[in-house]
A and B are shown apart, each in its own frame.
Chain A
Amino acid sequence: MPEAEALLVASDVHKIYRNGAETVALRGVNLTIRRRDFVALVGQSGSGKTTLLNLLGALDQATSGSISLDGRDYGRLSDDELAELRRQRIGFVFQFHYLLNEFTVLENALMPLIVGRGTPLREGRDYVLSLLDRVGMTPLLHKPATQLSGGQAQRVAVVRALVNKPSLILADEPTGNLDTDNGRQVFEIMRELNRDVGSAFVLVTHDDRLACQTDRLVRIQDGGIVQDVPTSELPNFECQAPAGQCPFQVMPESAKS
């Protein structure tokens, strides 16, 4: 892998929580995310997936080790610089959509632009409208967020994560709260946007079948990465769900051929 392609580099990252007792959440994680990557971060509950995602998203600080995005080391940035980094380079999608109830669909989607500029430029607004159109939300633009279904709200949340054209999208179980149909739709939207917009995606999931739809699978166990492979290299059985149970198209196109 050429170094120039690296978007995010995590080196020997440790995270220890000290709340009375010491809990080691991450132990020596090394991970490189390249531009346009579509990566699944999988593992058991409590394995450290979300902790790693928070560190990669500059929401939390590593106890030791370094993380850099486009060469900017998080450890050397001030609070304001980290906030700016999040605003310009990183998008987040959570298990729950977390739309702001007081705002409409369009306003929620525009929010990252508003946080940064106060008023989105016409160009930015047009881009948001095109994204919302792609996810089928145009008829609901002016509906309050509270009137959306779970699937609709999560689609808006995905658009919201993309409006700043970030180089990295971090999604923490983005389909975890959705039914099968909505989960599939949201996943497909993210896949499409990864291809078309070019943002790298890191999806935390506990569902191996969903993970198999990505390009690369990173498995974390007891705070350390135990597997980091392209999904195309996975043996078929690892990605094969029992018939009738898999909510997604479990086999990647490349694996089918």
Chain B
Amino acid sequence: MWRFERGVAWRHFSTGGSQTALTVAAVAVAVLLIIFISSLINGLQIGLIEDILGGSSLVTVTPPEREPRPLWEAELDPGMPVVAKVDSAYQQQSSIEQWQELIEIIEGMPNVTGVGARATGGGFVARGARTISAAIIGVQPEREVKVINIARRMAQGEFSPLDREGVIIGVKMAEELRVQLGDRIRVTSNEGQTGTFFVRGVFDLGLPDANERWVFMQLRPAQGLLELGNDVTEINLRTDDIYRADAAADEIRKYTRLDVKSWTVENRAFLDGLQGQSRTSNTIVGISILASLFAVAGVMLVFVAQKSRDIGILKTMGATRRQVSRIFLLEGLGFGLAAGTLGGALGTAGALIIQNTPRPGGGTFGGKPATVVPMQWEPSILIAAIVAAIIVGVLASVLPARRAAALDPVEVIRSA
């Protein structure tokens, strides 16, 4: 198809010399920039999301906070003084009954990748004379690893499977209690129940509070310690995309009167930060695309002017306006393809080198060893950059192509 147009376009392109080379180079630099910026923002966001949200669920379902009852509504003896201060009933433990049904419903929702129940409450852990305040978290380990990214954050041992006598504690707690895998610790709940457990694993979630206070154990022993019977205190879930958490929360609200909170409510500032980064990245990408568009369009217009005599001659031979127009659109496509390929190859190579170069000072970011710049290249970034270059090439050649198609052969031959 379009052999004539392709032939002429290719010959123009391949014999364009430094003019072609410089234009391709300019657009290739834009493609490279798009890949670098996108990989950088992508890496930054993946790392931040992992560090900040990796250790917590994206949507949490909890019992509704109990409405405090003002004293004047209480049945009191007439004439008894009333204190008008209203305080929340935070001290009272509340729980979710029939939680298994809700988990089944949530599990069937689209985009939900993991859901699990928790029995949580306060307490403390002790090893010998050392005692630390703790948050007791009873979980279904095989489900929990799909709700929070803890499996990848284990410093020692495995999170799942976990036996009924086992606990997983944070690195800070392990350090303060001076315990190792297999050591016994005593866990006492605020309800006064006590149990002895073996340390089966040590995690590092990168969150100081979690590393120091969280104690994971099986759901059943936690329910016992917290005197919850068969109830749980939370249902947590994760969606395939963090930005789908709000939609999942809305969906869950249709089935329950429980409190459903998405991470976006609790982490407004973080969400704003992520969106700000994305906007910055999009702005830079947009400016790069626009600059490329003008660069190619400018060169193509000069090209049409240079080739106007040839266009006139081709028209005398019977080339139609559409054929002439296609020649220049194909040249634009050629610029886009060449620049996309060159910039794509260089950008990919550069991004991969950078994202695999460790940071001299060491450290971790997003649960992985930190690199000089937190880049994360992905094939989709490369494809998007190449597609952008191709669109730029074709769009930039629309005006020159129309101008070429409109050339009057009599005029151009007369003035040649």
- The number of chain A residues touching the other chain, given as a range, is 20 to 34
Choose from B3, B8, B312, B320 the contact partner of A83 (Cβ within 8 Å).
Answer: B320
Measured between beta carbons, the chain A residues less than 8 angstroms from B320 are: 79-80, 83-84
A119 to B3, Cβ gap below 8 A?
yes
A114 to B3, Cβ gap below 8 A?
yes
What is the distance, in angstroms, from B9's C-beta to the closest C-beta of chain A? 11
Residue of B nearest to A108 (CB): B313
- Interface presence of B301 (CB below 8 A): no
What is the distance, in angstroms, from B296's C-beta to the closest C-beta of chain A? 20
B7 to A114, Cβ gap below 8 A?
yes
B316 to A59, Cβ gap below 8 A?
yes
What is the distance, in angstroms, from A51's C-beta to the closest C-beta of chain B? 9
* Residues of A56-84 whose CB lies within 8 A of B: 57, 59-60, 79-80, 83-84
The CA of A202 and the CA of B43, in the complex, are separated in Å by 72
Selecting from A93-101, A134-142, A174-182, A203-211, the interface stretch reads A93-101
The CA of A60 and the CA of B410, in the complex, are separated in Å by 7
- Interface presence of A187 (CB below 8 A): no
B318 to A115, Cβ gap below 8 A?
yes
- Interface presence of B12 (CB below 8 A): yes
The tally of residues in B whose CB lies under 8 Å from a CB in A reads 27
A98 to B409, Cβ gap below 8 A?
no
Please judge, given known A-B contacts A102-B11, A103-B11, A118-B2, whether A111 and B317 are in contact too, CB under 8 Å.
Answer: yes
The CA of A243 and the CA of B323, in the complex, are separated in Å by 51
- Interface presence of A224 (CB below 8 A): no
Choose from A83, A98, A103, A115 the contact partner of B416 (Cβ within 8 Å).
Answer: A98
What is the distance, in angstroms, from B5's C-beta to the closest C-beta of chain A? 9
Q: Mark A39-57, 1 if CB is under 8 A from B, else 0.
A: 0000000000010001001
What is the distance, in angstroms, from A78's C-beta to the closest C-beta of chain B? 10
- Interface presence of B314 (CB below 8 A): yes
Residue of A nearest to B10 (CB): A102
The CA of A92 and the CA of B312, in the complex, are separated in Å by 12
- Interface presence of A27 (CB below 8 A): no
Choose from A83, A101, A103, A118 the contact partner of B318 (Cβ within 8 Å).
Answer: A83
- The B interface is mostly helix, strand or loop, or mixed, namely helix
- Interface presence of A112 (CB below 8 A): yes
The CA of A59 and the CA of B316, in the complex, are separated in Å by 7
- Interface presence of B310 (CB below 8 A): yes
B310 to A100, Cβ gap below 8 A?
yes
A87 to B318, Cβ gap below 8 A?
yes
Measured between beta carbons, the chain A residues less than 8 angstroms from B316 are: 57, 59, 86, 92
Residue of A nearest to B7 (CB): A114
A59 to B318, Cβ gap below 8 A?
no
The CA of A87 and the CA of B313, in the complex, are separated in Å by 11
B318 to A84, Cβ gap below 8 A?
yes
A94 to B11, Cβ gap below 8 A?
no
Q: Mark B76-108, 1 if CB is under 8 A from A, else 0.
A: 000000000000000000000000000000000
Please judge, given known A-B contacts A98-B309, A98-B313, A102-B15, whether A116 and B413 are in contact too, CB under 8 Å.
Answer: no
A59 to B317, Cβ gap below 8 A?
no
- Interface presence of B315 (CB below 8 A): yes
A86 to B410, Cβ gap below 8 A?
no
- Interface presence of A11 (CB below 8 A): no
- Interface presence of A185 (CB below 8 A): no
Please judge, given known A-B contacts A96-B416, A102-B11, whether A115 and B323 are in contact too, CB under 8 Å.
Answer: yes
Measured between beta carbons, the chain A residues less than 8 angstroms from B244 are: none
Residue of A nearest to B12 (CB): A102
B-to-A contact residues, CB < 8 Å: 2-4, 7-8, 11-12, 15, 309-310, 312-323, 409-410, 413-414, 416
Q: A50-B414, A86-B315 are in contact. List 6 more A-B contacts (CB 8 A).
A: A98-B413, A100-B11, A100-B314, A114-B4, A118-B4, A119-B3
